[in-house]
Amino acid sequence: MGIFIKNNDQVEKMRAASRIVAQAHEELEKYIKPGVTTGELNKIAEEFIRGKGGIPSFLGYRGYPAATNMSVNDAVIHGIPGLRRLKNGDIISIDIGVILNKFHGDAARTHPVGEVKPQYVKLIEVTRQSFFEAIRYAKHGGHLNEVCSAIEDYVTSYGYTVVREWCGHGVGRQLHEDPQIPNHRMKGRGAKIERNMTFAIEPMVNEGKADVRILDDEWTVVTKDGKFSAHYENTIVVTDGEPEILTL
């Protein structure tokens, strides 16, 4: 397919879609507390997105049945919202995509639910910070491997592991475009980074081993050892200077 480099008008459309993603995350944060179900959170998110004129990117994508991903505790990504009721001490990763004017924005956040053990707070913090370590290298003229290596180096320095089977990705007219952006060091330098490239960088970080498996619902990815996992993602655009984070 090749890497689709946007023009300024297309970047502006992505900025608008991404703004709704960011606002939806802010809205949901008010409701994340013990007792709420993942299905209720999903409904709030979908109604908010549609109220802003957007369409949930995930709903119907390859048959996915919900507007958001809600992944709790040992679930890494792609958790299907439903009747699960959040408990004090849980952590929940929420992934939201929005399409507006034929362009997508995509972002994920992991939140503590109520009072959470310090080890899980740390896991969430390290996962989030690994994204910011990585985007320092998302500059015109650089190469993707610098971005990928920065994630792995930061995460492993805290004794955590990165999920290798899933990765970040280009985003634009499609929810998933070239290039793929692993959360670990690549064999080569990777694609050259150019102005107006847009991608979603998304560290997925496990407290224990990197190994994962897919549940019988054929979507939810969980850690094999049952230890907790965190996820953090933003859509960015490469500029002449520092990258712009579209979903913050």
- At 59, is the secondary structure helix, strand, or coil? coil
Q: Buried (b) or exposed (e) across 69-79, using 16+ Cβ within 10 A?
A: bbbbbbbbbbb
Which domains are present in the chain?
A: 8-245 (3.90.230.10)
Tens of pLDDT, residues 153-169? 999 999 999 999 999 99
Where is 166: in which H helix or E strand? Answer: none
Residue 1 pLDDT:
67
Looking at this protein, which amino acid is placed at residue 246?
Answer: L
Give helix 144-156 / helix 118-135 axis angle, nearest 10°.
Answer: 160
Q: Is 4 helix (H, G, I), strand (E, B) or coil?
A: coil
Partner residues linked to 68 by β-bridges:
96
Confidence at residue 242, expressed as pLDDT on a 0 to 100 scale: 96
**Does pTM surpass 0.85?**
yes
Yes or no: say if 97 and 105 are a contact pair by the CB < 8 Å rule: yes
* Model confidence pLDDT, tens digit, residues 150-208: 999 999 999 999 999 999 999 999 999 999 999 999 999 999 999 999 999 999 999 99
